[in-house]
Amino acid sequence: MKKLLLLVILAAGFSCKKSADESQANTKPSFDYLLGDWARSNDEPGQSTFESWRKKNDSVYSGIGFTLKDKDTIWLENVEIANDGRHWNFSVTPKGSIKVTPFQLTDIEPDGFTCKNDKNEFPKRIKYKVTHDKIHAVISGAGNPDVAFEFDRIR
C-alpha cells in the first residue's frame, strides 16, 4: 500500500512539472507597452531614428525601425515579437533582405525583455526596458561595446 501511495505521489508530481519551454510557450505575456511611435533621444547629430510598434494579435507584435539623415532613409528594418508555439522570439529583417535574424526571448518581465542569439555576429543580446514613456534598449555581445538606444514616446 505504501509503495502504491508513493507511486501515485511521484506520478502526480511529474505530471504537474512543465519544462521551461512549455511554460514560456503557454504564458501570454503582454508587450503592449511597446505599442505606438517612438523617437530616439540619444541619436547621432544630424540623424533621427524612430520605432513604431503595432499588435497583430496576442501572439504577434510587429514593428519597424528606421533612421533618417536629412530626409533620406539610411537604415530600415522590420522587427517582430512572436510566439512560435515553444518560445517567444524577437526577429529582425533588414530592408531589402529575406534573411530573418531570430533572437529567443530568455527573460520576459512586465516592463521589458532580454533576447539572445549566440550565433549572430553582432548583436548577440538585445534588451528592452520600458519606464513610463521611455524605452531603454541595449544591444551587446561579441566583445563589442554596448550600444544604448533611448526612445521617447511620440504617440
Q: Express each pLDDT in 58-110 by its tens digit.
A: 999 999 999 999 999 999 999 999 999 999 999 999 999 999 999 999 999 99
pLDDT digits (tens, 9 = 90+) for 8-61: 333 334 343 344 444 445 568 999 999 999 999 999 999 999 999 999 999 999
The type of residue at 62 is: S
Residue 79 has a pLDDT of 98
pLDDT band at 118 (very low <50, low <70, confident <90, very high): very high
Residue 27 has a pLDDT of 61
Q: How far apart are CA 26 and CA 3, in angstroms?
A: 34
Residue 28 has a pLDDT of 84
pTM higher than the cut 0.85: no
The type of residue at 141 is: G
How many angstroms separate the Cα of 61 from the Cα of each of 29, 64, 80, 137? Answer: 12, 11, 6, 17
Residue 76 makes CB contacts below 8 A (sequence gap 6+) with 64, 65, 66, 67, 94, 95
| Cis-peptide into 110, omega within 30 deg | no
The type of residue at 46 is: G
Q: Exposed, middle or buried by CB within 10 Å (0-12, 13-18, 19+), for 79?
A: buried
**Domain assignments of the chain as residue spans, ordered by start:** 28-153
Residue 155 has a pLDDT of 85
Residue 140 has a pLDDT of 98
* Total H helices, total E strands in the chain: 2, 10
Four-point Cα dihedral 126, 57, 54, 35, nearest 10: -70
Residue 146 has a pLDDT of 97
Is the pLDDT reported for residue 111 higher than 80?
Answer: yes
Q: Give the fold, CATH level 3, of 28-153.
A: Lipocalin (2.40.128)
